[in-house]
Structure 1
Amino acid sequence: MTRRPGWKLLAALYPFGAGAAAGNLFFASLIFSWIGWPVLTPHAAIGGGLLIGLPATWAFAWHITRLMDRAEPPA
């Protein structure tokens, strides 16, 4: 069984997950503007990235924890 990711790992990865989610949201809104959807403002994309970044960071931290357990099983 894989242990849960620690808070230090989550705190270290969250800025990257939130930033990536914000960038992806903004660029996705630019692509969807081709079919008539509105373009998100950068502030709206950052806000959405802060929300979407939480589950994305949790999933990536879980993956990193599994890799760490595979490399060196917990005692």
Structure 2
Amino acid sequence: MNRQGWSVHQITLALYPFGAGAMAVNAFFASLIGSWMGGPVLSTNIALVVGAIIGLPATYTFARHIRALMDRADDTSHH
């Protein structure tokens, strides 16, 4: 099968800013919930760094899912 469209790495690169931002928000809100149990609340800068780090594998995983959906849609459209 000949793949058409963007590769997983291209999709990851295009979606990374959104994935990193989403992970930063999630990390910040998780720290707010953790503060109810005595944990520290993350600063904005720390939340952004955490988001940048955990955003990459999260975005890559999502890009693989999107690529698989593209492949499946492409496969069914050729039958």
Q: CA-atom RMSD, angstroms?
A: 1.7
Aligned to 1:27: 29
Give the TM-score normalised by structure 2. 0.84
Shift of 1:14: 0.2
Aligned to 2:63: 61
Query: After TM superposition, where is structure 1 displaced by more than 6 Å over at least 4 residues in a row?
Result: none
Q: Matched residues in 1 for 2:68 and 2:11: separation?
A: 13
Q: Matched residues in 2 for 1:53 and 1:36: separation?
A: 26
Aligned residue type for 1:25 = A
Shift of 1:50: 0.2
Number of residues of Structure 1 aligned to a counterpart in Structure 2 = 71
Shift of 1:48: 0.3
- Give aligned-pair identity as a percent: 59
Which segments of 5 or more consecutive residues in structure 2 lack a partner in the other structure?
none
Q: Matched residues in 1 for 2:34 and 2:53: separation?
A: 20
Aligned to 2:11: 9
Larger Cα-atom Rg: 2
Aligned to 1:72: 74
Give the TM-score normalised by structure 1. 0.88
